[in-house]
Structure 1
Amino acid sequence: MHRELRLIAVLGALAVGLGAFGAHGLERLVEPAQLETFGTGVRYQFYHVLAAALAIALGQHAAFSGQWLRRAIWCWVLGIALFSGSLYLLALRDVHGLAVGFLGPITPLGGLFFIGGWMMLLFAPVARR
């Protein structure tokens, strides 16, 4: 799971950077509601980066299926891209000027990937022989 660990490390660093940007630079650029939307994206990114890091750690233990943990991690990565990514773009639409209204329906798809990742954990424990 080296590739996944590297990806999660990058997503974690991005979450810290985006959180700092939201807390210290974004408040004068967007309305409070947009700032709240941005913050929601950061929070959910952090939650799922931490969950993925835990899944990677569990993958080192023989009692867990690396295959199912890897599937959960990739669901969470897709969830971060779709859910958090769409919220970032929607929150910043007044700043970047792009027409991103079409992303509204993408956000719930990201949420479904988050849920799917958590459901993958149901299959991760392996029966001991």
Structure 2
Amino acid sequence: MLLKKYIGIGAIVAGLAVAFGAFGAHSLKETLSEHYLEVFETGVRYQMYHGLGLLLVALLSDRLPSATKLMRWSARLLLIGTVLFSGSLYILSLSSTDWLGAITPLGGVAFLAGWACVAIAAFKGGRDAA
């Protein structure tokens, strides 16, 4: 498995999303305003999506051997996107520091680039997967 370390990383990212979600639901419900709790939950949701995405990219990497570099970049970008997007939302919601919202779109761009790498890898390496 070419990207097997991303299976572990994806599992950690998804597991932390569960922990953060439970923390938000049980500990922050009484502390944060409804708006900031929603912001926190958005971070959790996108972290889970992209933790699962990391697992998917790692598992698909063997099916697309001619596109290993693209799949590796996809995994990196999904991880960077998670840190920037979800991380900025967590800090924003916990600190009420609204300027951190300016960082969140950078994470979104990393997500888009990561998924674009998967799409390109599929079209480029798809003939190897048959």
The alignment yields a C-alpha RMSD, in angstroms, of 1.7
Same amino acid, percent of matched pairs = 40
Contact 1:63–1:127 at 8 Å: present in 2 too?
no
Counterpart in 2 of 1:97?
none
SS in structure 1 opposite 2:63?
coil
Question: What are structure 1's unaligned runs of at least 5 residues?
Answer: 95-99
Give the alignment of 1:1-129 within 5 angstroms. 1-62=3-64, 65-93=67-95, 100-125=97-122, 126-128=125-127
Distance 1:64 1:8 in 2: 22
Q: Partners of 2:69 and 2:37 in 1: how far apart?
A: 37
| CA distance 1:32–1:64, shift in 2 (3 Å) | farther
Task: Note if contact 1:63-1:128 (Cα within 8 Å) is conserved in structure 2.
Answer: no
In proportion to residue count, which structure has more helix?
Answer: 2
Unaligned runs of 5+ in 2: none
Aligned amino acid, residue 123 of structure 1 = I
TM-score normalized by structure 2? 0.86
CA 127–38 in structure 1, closer or farther in 2 if over 3 Å, else same: closer
Q: How many residues align?
A: 124
